[in-house]
Structure 1
Protein backbone atom coordinates (compact mmCIF):
# COMPACT_ATOMS: atom_id res chain seq x y z
CA UNK A 1 0.00 0.00 0.00
CA UNK A 2 1.59 3.26 -1.06
CA UNK A 3 1.51 6.49 0.96
CA UNK A 4 -1.88 8.14 0.91
CA UNK A 5 -3.62 5.08 -0.53
CA UNK A 6 -6.55 3.83 1.56
CA UNK A 7 -6.64 0.32 0.13
CA UNK A 8 -7.50 -1.38 -3.12
CA UNK A 9 -10.67 -1.14 -5.14
CA UNK A 10 -12.17 -3.81 -2.87
CA UNK A 11 -10.64 -2.87 0.51
CA UNK A 12 -9.91 0.10 2.73
CA UNK A 13 -7.42 0.74 5.52
CA UNK A 14 -8.93 1.13 8.99
CA UNK A 15 -7.02 2.53 11.99
CA UNK A 16 -8.28 0.97 15.24
CA UNK A 17 -7.23 2.42 18.61
CA UNK A 18 -9.80 0.96 21.03
CA UNK A 19 -11.53 -2.42 21.37
CA UNK A 20 -11.18 -3.10 17.62
CA UNK A 21 -7.43 -3.52 18.06
CA UNK A 22 -8.30 -7.01 19.31
CA UNK A 23 -8.71 -9.24 16.24
CA UNK A 24 -11.45 -11.36 17.82
CA UNK A 25 -13.50 -8.26 18.68
CA UNK A 26 -13.23 -6.67 15.24
CA UNK A 27 -13.92 -9.90 13.39
CA UNK A 28 -17.19 -10.51 15.27
CA UNK A 29 -18.93 -8.34 12.67
CA UNK A 30 -16.12 -7.71 10.17
CA UNK A 31 -14.62 -11.12 9.34
CA UNK A 32 -12.69 -9.74 6.35
CA UNK A 33 -10.44 -7.62 8.59
CA UNK A 34 -6.79 -8.54 8.05
CA UNK A 35 -3.87 -7.21 10.07
CA UNK A 36 -1.63 -4.86 8.10
CA UNK A 37 0.62 -3.09 10.64
CA UNK A 38 0.82 -1.13 13.86
CA UNK A 39 0.70 2.63 13.47
CA UNK A 40 1.03 5.95 15.24
CA UNK A 41 -1.39 8.84 14.84
CA UNK A 42 0.31 12.14 15.61
CA UNK A 43 -1.31 15.16 17.25
CA UNK A 44 -4.18 13.21 18.81
CA UNK A 45 -4.70 11.72 22.25
CA UNK A 46 -6.71 8.72 23.40
CA UNK A 47 -9.60 9.43 25.74
CA UNK A 48 -12.54 7.51 27.17
CA UNK A 49 -16.11 8.69 27.35
CA UNK A 50 -19.66 8.44 26.07
CA UNK A 51 -21.68 10.19 23.38
CA UNK A 52 -24.02 12.43 25.31
CA UNK A 53 -24.05 13.31 28.96
CA UNK A 54 -26.35 10.49 30.11
CA UNK A 55 -25.50 7.91 27.46
CA UNK A 56 -25.22 4.21 28.23
CA UNK A 57 -23.61 1.48 26.15
CA UNK A 58 -22.97 -2.27 26.06
CA UNK A 59 -19.56 -1.76 27.70
CA UNK A 60 -21.07 -0.12 30.81
CA UNK A 61 -18.59 2.75 30.81
CA UNK A 62 -16.53 5.06 28.67
CA UNK A 63 -15.20 3.82 25.34
CA UNK A 64 -12.21 5.01 23.36
CA UNK A 65 -12.09 8.02 21.12
CA UNK A 66 -9.41 10.31 19.77
CA UNK A 67 -9.20 14.04 20.32
CA UNK A 68 -6.90 16.52 18.63
CA UNK A 69 -3.92 17.40 20.83
CA UNK A 70 -0.77 18.86 19.27
CA UNK A 71 2.32 16.92 20.32
CA UNK A 72 0.38 13.86 21.53
CA UNK A 73 0.16 10.48 19.81
CA UNK A 74 -2.15 7.50 19.71
CA UNK A 75 -0.94 4.03 18.79
CA UNK A 76 -3.18 1.49 17.13
CA UNK A 77 -3.58 -1.16 14.48
CA UNK A 78 -4.16 -0.78 10.75
CA UNK A 79 -6.53 -3.38 9.35
CA UNK A 80 -7.36 -3.99 5.71
CA UNK A 81 -11.14 -4.44 5.52
CA UNK A 82 -13.35 -5.45 2.61
CA UNK A 83 -15.53 -2.62 1.33
CA UNK A 84 -18.39 -5.12 1.80
CA UNK A 85 -17.91 -4.59 5.56
CA UNK A 86 -17.88 -0.79 5.54
CA UNK A 87 -21.54 -0.73 6.54
CA UNK A 88 -21.07 -3.27 9.37
CA UNK A 89 -18.08 -1.34 10.69
CA UNK A 90 -20.05 1.92 10.55
CA UNK A 91 -22.94 0.19 12.30
CA UNK A 92 -20.65 -1.21 15.01
CA UNK A 93 -19.34 2.32 15.59
CA UNK A 94 -22.85 3.78 15.73
CA UNK A 95 -22.34 6.14 12.78
CA UNK A 96 -26.01 6.00 11.73
CA UNK A 97 -27.17 7.02 15.21
CA UNK A 98 -24.52 9.69 15.69
CA UNK A 99 -22.26 8.00 18.27
CA UNK A 100 -19.10 8.22 16.13
CA UNK A 101 -18.25 10.08 12.95
CA UNK A 102 -15.92 8.64 10.32
CA UNK A 103 -12.65 10.49 9.89
CA UNK A 104 -9.73 10.12 7.49
CA UNK A 105 -6.33 10.30 9.17
CA UNK A 106 -2.74 9.77 8.08
CA UNK A 107 -0.87 7.32 10.28
CA UNK A 108 2.77 6.29 10.33
CA UNK A 109 3.27 2.54 10.11
CA UNK A 110 6.33 0.47 10.88
CA UNK A 111 6.58 -1.31 7.53
CA UNK A 112 4.34 0.52 5.05
CA UNK A 113 5.19 4.19 5.61
CA UNK A 114 2.40 6.72 5.86
CA UNK A 115 -1.12 5.47 5.13
CA UNK A 116 -4.44 7.26 4.83
CA UNK A 117 -6.96 5.38 6.98
CA UNK A 118 -10.56 5.51 8.00
CA UNK A 119 -11.07 5.84 11.74
CA UNK A 120 -13.82 7.10 14.02
CA UNK A 121 -14.14 10.00 16.46
CA UNK A 122 -16.87 10.20 19.08
CA UNK A 123 -19.55 12.82 18.58
CA UNK A 124 -20.82 14.84 21.56
CA UNK A 125 -17.99 13.50 23.76
CA UNK A 126 -18.43 13.43 27.54
CA UNK A 127 -15.56 11.96 29.62
CA UNK A 128 -16.38 8.85 31.62
CA UNK A 129 -14.32 6.12 33.27
CA UNK A 130 -14.16 2.92 31.25
CA UNK A 131 -15.23 -0.49 32.51
CA UNK A 132 -12.63 -3.10 33.47
CA UNK A 133 -13.98 -5.31 30.65
CA UNK A 134 -13.45 -2.67 27.99
CA UNK A 135 -9.99 -1.85 29.32
CA UNK A 136 -9.14 -5.58 29.22
CA UNK A 137 -10.09 -5.81 25.52
CA UNK A 138 -8.12 -2.66 24.63
CA UNK A 139 -5.03 -3.90 26.49
CA UNK A 140 -5.30 -7.39 24.95
CA UNK A 141 -5.51 -5.85 21.48
CA UNK A 142 -2.48 -3.67 22.15
CA UNK A 143 -0.52 -6.66 23.45
CA UNK A 144 -1.71 -8.98 20.67
CA UNK A 145 -0.40 -6.59 18.03
CA UNK A 146 2.86 -5.60 19.71
CA UNK A 147 2.25 -1.92 20.40
CA UNK A 148 5.15 -0.18 22.19
CA UNK A 149 5.49 -1.41 25.78
CA UNK A 150 5.39 2.09 27.28
CA UNK A 151 2.11 2.78 25.46
CA UNK A 152 0.64 -0.55 26.61
CA UNK A 153 1.76 0.33 30.15
CA UNK A 154 -0.18 3.57 29.89
CA UNK A 155 -3.28 1.64 28.80
CA UNK A 156 -2.89 -0.73 31.76
CA UNK A 157 -2.81 2.31 34.04
CA UNK A 158 -6.18 3.69 32.86
CA UNK A 159 -8.60 4.00 35.79
CA UNK A 160 -11.89 2.10 35.56
CA UNK A 161 -15.36 2.39 37.04
CA UNK A 162 -15.12 -1.11 38.65
CA UNK A 163 -18.24 -2.38 36.82
CA UNK A 164 -18.53 -6.15 37.41
CA UNK A 165 -21.60 -7.31 35.45
CA UNK A 166 -22.04 -8.74 31.94
CA UNK A 167 -20.65 -6.90 28.90
CA UNK A 168 -19.63 -7.31 25.27
CA UNK A 169 -16.50 -9.06 26.55
CA UNK A 170 -18.68 -12.12 27.24
CA UNK A 171 -19.17 -12.67 23.48
CA UNK A 172 -15.48 -12.41 22.54
CA UNK A 173 -13.52 -15.65 22.37
CA UNK A 174 -9.76 -15.20 22.28
CA UNK A 175 -7.05 -17.56 21.02
CA UNK A 176 -6.64 -18.84 24.56
CA UNK A 177 -10.30 -19.95 24.47
CA UNK A 178 -11.33 -17.56 27.21
CA UNK A 179 -12.89 -14.15 27.18
Structure 2
Protein backbone atom coordinates (compact mmCIF):
# COMPACT_ATOMS: atom_id res chain seq x y z
CA UNK A 1 0.00 0.00 0.00
CA UNK A 2 1.54 3.34 -1.01
CA UNK A 3 1.73 6.44 1.17
CA UNK A 4 -1.15 8.20 -0.64
CA UNK A 5 -3.58 5.38 0.17
CA UNK A 6 -2.47 5.37 3.80
CA UNK A 7 -3.05 9.13 4.07
CA UNK A 8 -6.51 8.87 2.48
CA UNK A 9 -7.56 6.01 4.79
CA UNK A 10 -6.24 7.89 7.83
CA UNK A 11 -8.17 11.03 6.85
CA UNK A 12 -11.37 9.03 6.30
CA UNK A 13 -10.96 7.31 9.66
CA UNK A 14 -10.45 10.63 11.44
CA UNK A 15 -13.51 12.13 9.71
CA UNK A 16 -15.59 9.11 10.72
CA UNK A 17 -14.43 9.36 14.34
CA UNK A 18 -15.23 13.08 14.42
CA UNK A 19 -18.75 12.35 13.16
CA UNK A 20 -19.32 9.75 15.89
CA UNK A 21 -17.52 11.77 18.57
CA UNK A 22 -17.94 15.48 17.77
CA UNK A 23 -15.40 17.90 19.25
CA UNK A 24 -16.16 18.73 22.86
CA UNK A 25 -16.69 22.43 22.11
CA UNK A 26 -19.83 21.70 20.05
CA UNK A 27 -23.15 22.50 21.72
CA UNK A 28 -26.87 22.30 21.04
CA UNK A 29 -29.88 24.21 22.36
CA UNK A 30 -32.49 22.40 24.44
CA UNK A 31 -35.91 23.77 25.40
CA UNK A 32 -37.01 22.60 28.87
CA UNK A 33 -40.59 23.07 30.03
CA UNK A 34 -40.86 20.46 32.81
CA UNK A 35 -38.59 19.36 35.64
CA UNK A 36 -35.47 20.39 33.68
CA UNK A 37 -36.43 24.02 34.22
CA UNK A 38 -34.59 23.58 37.53
CA UNK A 39 -30.80 23.73 37.35
CA UNK A 40 -30.18 21.14 40.09
CA UNK A 41 -32.43 18.72 38.20
CA UNK A 42 -30.92 19.08 34.74
CA UNK A 43 -27.37 18.95 36.10
CA UNK A 44 -27.91 15.45 37.54
CA UNK A 45 -27.46 13.90 34.09
CA UNK A 46 -26.34 16.91 32.05
CA UNK A 47 -23.57 18.73 33.92
CA UNK A 48 -22.55 20.88 30.94
CA UNK A 49 -25.96 22.59 30.68
CA UNK A 50 -25.90 26.39 30.87
CA UNK A 51 -29.08 28.43 30.88
CA UNK A 52 -28.93 30.71 27.84
CA UNK A 53 -32.30 32.48 27.97
CA UNK A 54 -36.02 31.72 28.08
CA UNK A 55 -38.55 31.37 25.30
CA UNK A 56 -41.97 30.20 24.27
CA UNK A 57 -43.15 27.39 22.04
CA UNK A 58 -46.20 28.74 20.25
CA UNK A 59 -49.33 26.77 19.37
CA UNK A 60 -48.66 24.10 21.97
CA UNK A 61 -50.00 23.67 25.51
CA UNK A 62 -48.46 22.11 28.59
CA UNK A 63 -50.13 18.91 29.76
CA UNK A 64 -49.48 15.74 31.76
CA UNK A 65 -50.13 12.09 30.99
CA UNK A 66 -47.77 9.14 31.37
CA UNK A 67 -46.75 8.13 34.88
CA UNK A 68 -43.11 7.88 35.92
CA UNK A 69 -41.94 5.51 38.66
CA UNK A 70 -39.04 7.84 39.49
CA UNK A 71 -41.42 10.71 40.09
CA UNK A 72 -44.42 8.76 41.46
CA UNK A 73 -46.71 10.76 39.25
CA UNK A 74 -47.28 11.92 35.70
CA UNK A 75 -44.68 13.87 33.79
CA UNK A 76 -45.11 16.86 31.51
CA UNK A 77 -45.62 16.86 27.78
CA UNK A 78 -46.57 19.32 25.07
CA UNK A 79 -49.65 19.01 22.90
CA UNK A 80 -50.46 20.92 19.72
CA UNK A 81 -53.05 23.57 20.55
CA UNK A 82 -53.61 26.63 18.36
CA UNK A 83 -53.29 29.90 20.23
CA UNK A 84 -51.60 28.41 23.30
CA UNK A 85 -47.97 28.83 24.35
CA UNK A 86 -45.55 26.92 26.55
CA UNK A 87 -42.77 28.89 28.22
CA UNK A 88 -39.50 27.31 29.18
CA UNK A 89 -35.77 27.61 29.67
CA UNK A 90 -33.34 27.37 26.77
CA UNK A 91 -30.22 25.50 27.81
CA UNK A 92 -26.97 25.31 25.88
CA UNK A 93 -25.53 21.82 26.34
CA UNK A 94 -22.38 20.12 25.13
CA UNK A 95 -23.07 17.43 22.54
CA UNK A 96 -21.32 14.95 24.84
CA UNK A 97 -24.47 15.08 27.01
CA UNK A 98 -26.98 14.57 24.19
CA UNK A 99 -27.24 10.80 24.74
CA UNK A 100 -27.56 11.42 28.48
CA UNK A 101 -30.46 13.78 27.87
CA UNK A 102 -32.14 11.31 25.51
CA UNK A 103 -31.72 8.58 28.12
CA UNK A 104 -33.13 10.80 30.86
CA UNK A 105 -36.19 11.47 28.72
CA UNK A 106 -36.68 7.78 27.96
CA UNK A 107 -36.24 8.03 24.21
CA UNK A 108 -34.75 4.53 24.19
CA UNK A 109 -37.87 3.06 25.82
CA UNK A 110 -40.33 4.99 23.64
CA UNK A 111 -41.48 7.29 26.47
CA UNK A 112 -40.59 10.58 24.77
CA UNK A 113 -39.59 11.43 21.22
CA UNK A 114 -37.25 14.15 20.00
CA UNK A 115 -38.59 17.22 18.21
CA UNK A 116 -36.80 20.22 16.72
CA UNK A 117 -38.81 23.42 17.05
CA UNK A 118 -38.30 27.15 16.71
CA UNK A 119 -38.53 28.84 20.11
CA UNK A 120 -39.24 32.56 20.36
CA UNK A 121 -37.25 34.50 22.97
CA UNK A 122 -38.63 37.60 24.74
CA UNK A 123 -36.76 39.85 22.29
CA UNK A 124 -38.34 38.12 19.29
CA UNK A 125 -35.36 36.00 18.28
CA UNK A 126 -36.17 32.54 16.91
CA UNK A 127 -33.86 29.78 18.14
CA UNK A 128 -33.89 26.19 16.82
CA UNK A 129 -34.12 23.93 19.87
CA UNK A 130 -34.21 20.26 20.69
CA UNK A 131 -37.16 19.30 22.88
CA UNK A 132 -39.11 16.24 23.90
CA UNK A 133 -42.76 15.24 23.58
CA UNK A 134 -44.37 12.15 25.02
CA UNK A 135 -45.04 9.50 22.39
CA UNK A 136 -48.64 9.26 23.61
CA UNK A 137 -50.46 12.46 24.56
CA UNK A 138 -53.78 13.53 26.11
CA UNK A 139 -56.64 13.94 23.66
CA UNK A 140 -58.77 15.98 26.05
CA UNK A 141 -57.75 19.55 26.86
CA UNK A 142 -58.66 20.75 30.36
CA UNK A 143 -57.75 23.75 32.48
CA UNK A 144 -54.75 23.21 34.75
CA UNK A 145 -56.91 23.21 37.87
CA UNK A 146 -59.15 20.51 36.34
CA UNK A 147 -56.41 17.99 35.49
CA UNK A 148 -57.81 14.62 36.67
CA UNK A 149 -56.05 12.77 39.48
CA UNK A 150 -54.73 10.03 37.21
CA UNK A 151 -52.89 12.66 35.14
CA UNK A 152 -51.49 14.75 38.00
CA UNK A 153 -47.77 15.16 38.74
CA UNK A 154 -46.27 14.33 42.11
CA UNK A 155 -45.48 17.01 44.69
CA UNK A 156 -41.79 16.69 43.91
CA UNK A 157 -42.18 16.95 40.14
CA UNK A 158 -44.42 19.98 40.42
CA UNK A 159 -41.98 21.61 42.85
CA UNK A 160 -39.22 21.18 40.25
CA UNK A 161 -41.40 22.92 37.67
CA UNK A 162 -42.43 25.78 39.95
CA UNK A 163 -38.97 26.34 41.44
CA UNK A 164 -37.45 26.08 37.98
CA UNK A 165 -39.93 28.56 36.53
CA UNK A 166 -38.99 31.10 39.19
CA UNK A 167 -35.28 30.35 38.84
CA UNK A 168 -35.53 30.76 35.04
CA UNK A 169 -37.51 33.99 35.47
CA UNK A 170 -40.40 32.92 33.28
CA UNK A 171 -43.20 35.51 32.86
CA UNK A 172 -45.08 36.06 36.12
CA UNK A 173 -48.49 35.39 34.58
CA UNK A 174 -47.26 32.04 33.27
CA UNK A 175 -45.91 31.13 36.72
CA UNK A 176 -49.28 32.10 38.18
CA UNK A 177 -50.96 29.64 35.81
CA UNK A 178 -48.50 26.87 36.74
CA UNK A 179 -49.38 27.34 40.40
CA UNK A 180 -52.93 26.19 39.58
CA UNK A 181 -51.70 22.70 38.64
CA UNK A 182 -52.79 20.13 41.27
CA UNK A 183 -50.48 17.36 42.48
CA UNK A 184 -51.24 13.81 43.59
CA UNK A 185 -49.79 14.30 47.08
CA UNK A 186 -46.88 11.90 46.56
CA UNK A 187 -43.15 12.43 46.84
CA UNK A 188 -40.72 11.19 44.20
CA UNK A 189 -38.72 8.02 44.77
CA UNK A 190 -36.04 8.09 47.50
CA UNK A 191 -33.35 7.95 44.81
CA UNK A 192 -34.72 11.00 43.01
CA UNK A 193 -35.16 12.92 46.27
CA UNK A 194 -31.55 12.16 47.18
CA UNK A 195 -30.29 13.31 43.78
CA UNK A 196 -32.17 16.57 44.22
CA UNK A 197 -30.95 17.02 47.79
CA UNK A 198 -34.54 16.95 49.05
CA UNK A 199 -34.40 13.87 51.30
Which category of TM-score, normalised to the shorter sequence, fits these structures? 0.7 to 0.9
> Which of 51, 65, 79 in structure 2 is aligned with 1:35?
51
Three-state SS of the structure 2 residue aligned to 1:124 is coil
> Which of 147, 151, 156 in structure 2 is aligned with 1:128?
151
TM-score, normalised relative to structure 2: 0.77
The aligned runs of 1:60-71 (5 Å cut-off) are 60-71=72-83
Determine the structure 1 residue equivalent to 2:193.
169
Q: Is the CA contact (8 Å cut-off) linking 2:153 and 2:183 kept in structure 1?
A: yes
Find runs of 4+ consecutive structure 1 residues off by over 6 angstroms: none
Determine the structure 1 residue equivalent to 2:12.
none
Per-residue deviation at 1:125?
Answer: 3.0
- Pair 1:92-2:104 in alignment: yes
Per-residue Cα deviation, 1:4-30 (whole angstroms, up to 9, x for no partner): xxxx97110000000001011001110
> Which of 27, 33, 39 in structure 2 is aligned with 1:17?
33
Per-residue Cα deviation, 1:129-153 (whole angstroms, up to 9, x for no partner): 1111100010000000100111111
> Which of 155, 160, 165 in structure 2 is aligned with 1:142?
165
Unaligned runs of 5+ in 2: 1-23, 139-149
TM-score, normalised relative to structure 1: 0.85
1:109–1:97 CA distance, 2 compared to 1 (3 A) = same
Structure holding more strand per residue: 1
Select the structure with the greater relative contact order (CA < 8 A; seq sep ≥ 6): 1
- Pair 1:102-2:114 in alignment: yes
Determine the structure 2 residue equivalent to 1:155.
178
Q: Distance in 2 between matches of 1:25 and 1:164?
A: 15
Determine the structure 2 residue equivalent to 1:47.
63
Per-residue deviation at 1:169?
Answer: 3.5
Per-residue deviation at 1:111?
Answer: 4.8
1:107–1:47 CA distance, 2 compared to 1 (3 A) = same
Three-state SS of the structure 1 residue aligned to 2:44 is coil
User: RMSD across aligned C-alpha pairs, in angstroms?
Assistant: 2.0
The alignment of Structure 1 onto Structure 2 pairs a total of residues equal to 164
